[in-house]
Amino acid sequence: MINNQFDKFFREQLKDHSAPVPEGLWEKIMPKDKKRPTAFYLPKKIGLGVLIASLIIAGLYGGFKYEQATNNNLVNTNIDNNSKLVDQNIKNTNAEGISTENTTIISSVKKENNFTNSIVANSPTIAVQKQTIISKSSIEYNLTNKIKADNYSYSLPAKGSSKNQTKFLTENSINNQKSSSATTHLDNKDEKETLSTLPLNESADENYTAFTKINPSLPILLNISETNNNFSLVNKTLLYNAHDKKIQGIIICPNIKSRSSFNTDWGIELYASPDYALKYVSNISAPQQYLDKKDSSEQMQISYTAGFRLIKPLNNNFLLKAGFQYSQLNQKFSYRNENEIKTTTVITTRIIIRSAGDTILVRDTSVLQQIGYNIKTVHNQFRSIDIPVTLGYQFGNDDLKFGINAGVVFNLSSWYQGEILDTTYASVPMNKVSNALYKTNIGMGLYTSISLIKRINDNTHLFFEPYFRYNLSNMTNSVSPYNQRFHIGGLSVGLRFNLNR
Amino acid sequence: MNKNILLFFATILLFMSACTKELSTTTNTFTPYQGNAFNDTTWIKNITGISPITSLADTLAQNTLFTDSIDLWKDKAIVFGDALQVDFKGGSCANNAGAPQDGKARIDIIRLQKKGDFIKAYRPNTNFTLLLETGSAFFIRISKNGSELALVPGASIKIKYTDIEEAENNMQVFYGKESLPFPTSTFDPANTWVRSLDTSWIKTWSTQTNSGIKKGYELEAKSLRWISAHRALDPNPAKTNIYAILPPNFTNKNTEVFAVFDHNRTVVDMHGDFASRSFTTSNIPLKTKLLLVSISKFGSDLYLGTKLVNDVGTVVNYSFTPEKKTLAQILAFLNSL
């Protein structure tokens, strides 16, 4: 009784009292919120493509596995961490008003501009029935203690009798100032939970606030973000995540800012890039003088690639991409032919004298010949159609993301056009029909890239992606006296569109 | 978003369709060699000794040279087969100072018979601007210890030879007037044939041999070096100037042009005319059938051009383009004239 009076006294005195948020509180919170794993080491120089790509692929695979493991442990980790925090501020007093056993409530509170430093849960009700969770809550928070605001997780024993039912109560005064309600529908076919209404009835015991509930098989992660208590939006997000991730019994409350996050269903990237190819030639049986002459006659120029990729996000960070692209490598072939004769038709007019006093004008058409050297310049084109398949890892905030990608490029077809220098030092044409040196399929190549992705709007992102493609096979065939292959670097610029939104 | 995607794919399709076209372009950048004689199209007013035409004349000087030794104090009949005989009288040679010479000496003889021989030796059949018809010509030089000797006054040598054509009765002895003594330079644009002071007709002869009748001339020369049997063409027919017009590469620095008469053993040099950038000569009788022959030299490359003129008439300018030939080809052609 004394305690009740004491509590009542403070409740009356602190009713409608709100404490200002200390300056710098949220600035301290935001960096923590933004802190993201920077993940991978990026080599400054892209050297041997095979080694780097292999390392990247291995890294991505390991990272992916690690990510999966991290996600699986996330709930327990949050529970543990937040339980410790709550233990400092919340007293578990009573289990009255909770109608189900073995409930666990995980509440994560992120930066809240309008947070009043007090949390009061007034009769929150969360209902779960089969594929639907209905959450009705009237929650008023008035928390006087300083809260580091990141996550508050509250853990209840997984199983037990009604004695084990747990409610969390702040030791500080709790006032019911306002209420809100939210209704969430989860599509969970496997769940056959009965409808559970969990009144956190303050009238039964107004000195505590129970943050929930609920079901031994349905741990709930509740993430309350700062902007406002817009639980309808929270629940919408809950719906997406629960549906997509198909994690039974887990309600993940993502950041409310997910309104701008990338859609996890499908996406498409449309891109084009200026390229520059590096030519590698190794000798088989050709004279070195010929290779030198050939090398000096060929100069790679700016090339380009265009295509599209379908994106299937594997989770928030990993993306699987596959697409179709067309590439054209441009090469300038210049060869100097000596002792060339250039002929020019000229018309001359002369005055001739047939005899004394007999002068006539003679117009003559003749040919002027000049001897010199002729530089023949041909723009060779090496074209190919490829299928790139890559695995990407991206991180960052919603407006700006960074990514790293690796994968393979399968060549479907290659064809060439232009002129090359043959071993007799004569320029010979090459085209789709007459091409004795080059393959029509150059096989597979390794692909690695880093990307910078800038959000334009909810559905569109602009990305820049420097990349390097390392071809594993020679483009020359077996009759060629030398081996030649191209490795390509470029900067893809394109747009990423979210699909199915 | 959908519009953007459709627009992108439409662009890609357009791009792919454009890629089926042949986009490869070929450019040729020609740069003439600097200092190459073939690219020199300039004409000069005065032919100098260093012009390519000098080298050309020396290159073409491929006439047969007969050489023997004589005793300057003894008579000797120098016989070259059955076609040429030179009778030398002893004590007829003196040095430049006029002192009679004795002892051994060398005699060199070049015979010009065909029209091509006169081209090779660059000795056209003209007396200044007067056209001549030849009955062969000779270059006879006697030298002792490298010094060229001359006939003493009153002395002579007799040249008896078989001609390739019917011997004419109205041939006269002509001597070559040189501005550049052969063989110092074959090319001598100022050379001409000057009739001997002895205007008597050259004796002709004929003899029966196993192979038939041989006919020829027996001329008596009172000086050495260039000696010939010539007669003037008929001075009465109407005459005209003719012009050979060659492409701009062929200038008076590198090209010789001759008019080779068809019915007469006459070769006329057509000199370069700076004003009209053409090669010309005068006093060509109308209705003459002739062959214009140009020989050019660019570096080591030789060009030969020909133009047959069946009837010199109102059209007096003839254009033709020389073609690159080898020296052997040119010499063979000249020997066929």
Percent of chain B with pLDDT over 90: 61
CB-based contact, B9 to chain A, within 8 Å: yes
User: Which has more confidence, A91 or B331?
Assistant: B331
Q: Provide residues of A within 8 Å CB-CB of chain B.
A: 268, 270, 306-308, 326, 328, 340, 342, 346, 348, 350-355, 362, 364, 366-381, 383, 417-419, 459-460, 495, 497-498
pLDDT tens for B134-190 read 999 999 999 999 899 999 999 999 999 998 888 889 999 999 998 878 777 788 888
Q: Give A323's contacts in chain B (Cβ within 8 Å).
A: none
Nearest-by-Cβ selection for A368 from B5, B243, B247? B247
Nearest-by-Cβ selection for A368 from B1, B245, B248? B248
User: Which has more confidence, A202 or B134?
Assistant: B134
User: B248 and A306 in contact by Cβ < 8 A?
Assistant: no
- Structure-block tokens of residue A214: 């609920």
Looking at residue B258, its pLDDT comes to: 96
* Residue B150 zone, left/alpha/beta (φ > 0; ψ -120 to 50; rest): beta
Q: What is the mean pLDDT of residues B296-307?
A: 93
User: A342 and B4 in contact by Cβ < 8 A?
Assistant: no
- Structure-block tokens of residue A472: 């594993």
- Structure-block tokens of residue B195: 């009739």
User: A381 and B275 in contact by Cβ < 8 A?
Assistant: no
| DSSP per-residue letters across B138-200 | EEEEEEETTEE-EEPTT--EEEEEE-SSPPPTT-EEEEEE-SS-TTT-S--TT-EEEE-S--P
User: B248 and A326 in contact by Cβ < 8 A?
Assistant: no
Q: What is the Cβ-side half-sphere exposure of residue A233, based on CA atoms within 13 angstroms?
A: 14
Q: What is the mean pLDDT of residues A393-405?
A: 92
- Calpha distance A198→A217 (Å, rounded): 15
**A157 pLDDT higher than 80:** no
User: B1 and A381 in contact by Cβ < 8 A?
Assistant: no
Looking at residue A277, its pLDDT comes to: 93
> What is the distance in angstroms between the Cα of A500 and the nearest Cα belonging to chain B?
11
Angle between the N-to-C axes of helices B52-60 and B327-335, in degrees from 0 to 180, rounded to the nearest 10 = 60
pLDDT tens for B5-47 read 666 667 666 665 555 455 557 888 999 999 888 899 999 988 8
What is the widest separation between alpha-carbon atoms in chain A? 151
Q: Give A379's contacts in chain B (Cβ within 8 Å).
A: 23-26
Q: Give B277's contacts in chain A (Cβ within 8 Å).
A: 348, 350
- Calpha distance A435→A412 (Å, rounded): 18
User: Which has more confidence, A187 or B70?
Assistant: B70
Looking at residue A332, its pLDDT comes to: 92
Please tell me the pTM assigned to this model: 0.57
CB-based contacts of A367: which residues, under 8 Å, 6+ apart?
A343, A344, A345, A346, B247, B321
Task: Give burial (CB, 10 Å; 0-12/13-18/19+) of A104.
Answer: buried
Whole-Å CA distances, B185 to B47, B178, B180, B335: 13, 10, 6, 21
Looking at residue A199, its pLDDT comes to: 40
Q: Give A497's contacts in chain B (Cβ within 8 Å).
A: 1, 4-5
The residue behind tokens 């209840």 is A156
Candidates A52, A67, A48; CA nearest to A393 is A67
Q: Give A362's contacts in chain B (Cβ within 8 Å).
A: 243, 245, 317
Which residues are B108's β-sheet partners?
B67, B141
- Calpha distance B56→A148 (Å, rounded): 105
Q: Give A330's contacts in chain B (Cβ within 8 Å).
A: none
Find the range with the poorest average confidence among A1-5, A213-217, A475-479, B270-274: A213-217
* Domain annotation for chain A: domains and CATH numbers: 46-258 (no CATH), 261-341+376-498 (2.40.160.20)
Q: Give B29's contacts in chain A (Cβ within 8 Å).
A: 374-375, 377
**A74 pLDDT higher than 60:** no
Whole-Å CA distances, B169 to B86, B201, B216, B229: 21, 7, 10, 11
Looking at residue A109, its pLDDT comes to: 37
- Calpha distance A488→A475 (Å, rounded): 13
- Calpha distance A258→A264 (Å, rounded): 11
User: B4 and A495 in contact by Cβ < 8 A?
Assistant: yes
User: A326 and B25 in contact by Cβ < 8 A?
Assistant: no
Looking at residue A178, its pLDDT comes to: 37
**A61 pLDDT higher than 70:** no
Nearest CA in chain A to B32: A372
Coil vs helix vs strand at B98: coil
Pair A486, A474: CB distance under 8 Å: no
Looking at residue B8, its pLDDT comes to: 65
CB-based contact, B241 to chain A, within 8 Å: yes
Looking at residue A144, its pLDDT comes to: 36
User: Which has more confidence, B219 or A43?
Assistant: B219
The mean pLDDT value of chain A amounts to 67
Tell me whether strands B239-245 and B317-319 are parallel, antiparallel or unpaired. parallel
Looking at residue A64, its pLDDT comes to: 57
User: A383 and B19 in contact by Cβ < 8 A?
Assistant: yes
pLDDT tens for A209-268 read 333 333 444 444 444 334 444 444 444 444 444 444 444 545 555 554 444 444 457 889
Looking at residue B214, its pLDDT comes to: 85
Tell me which of A265, A346, A350 to substitute to probe the interface with B (most B C-beta atoms closer than 10 Å). Answer: A350
Can you say whether the dihedral through the CA atoms of A356, A362, A366, A368 is positive or negative? Answer: positive
Find the range with the poorest average confidence among A38-42, B254-258, B275-279, B331-335: A38-42
Q: Give A306's contacts in chain B (Cβ within 8 Å).
A: 12, 15
Nearest CA in chain A to B286: A354
pLDDT tens for B195-208 read 999 999 999 998 88
Looking at residue B13, its pLDDT comes to: 63
CB-based contact, B296 to chain A, within 8 Å: no
**B58 pLDDT higher than 70:** yes
pLDDT tens for B116-136 read 999 999 999 999 989 999 999
Nearest CA in chain B to A458: B1
Pair A455, A398: CB distance under 8 Å: yes
Q: What is the mean pLDDT of residues A117-135?
A: 37
Looking at residue B18, its pLDDT comes to: 55
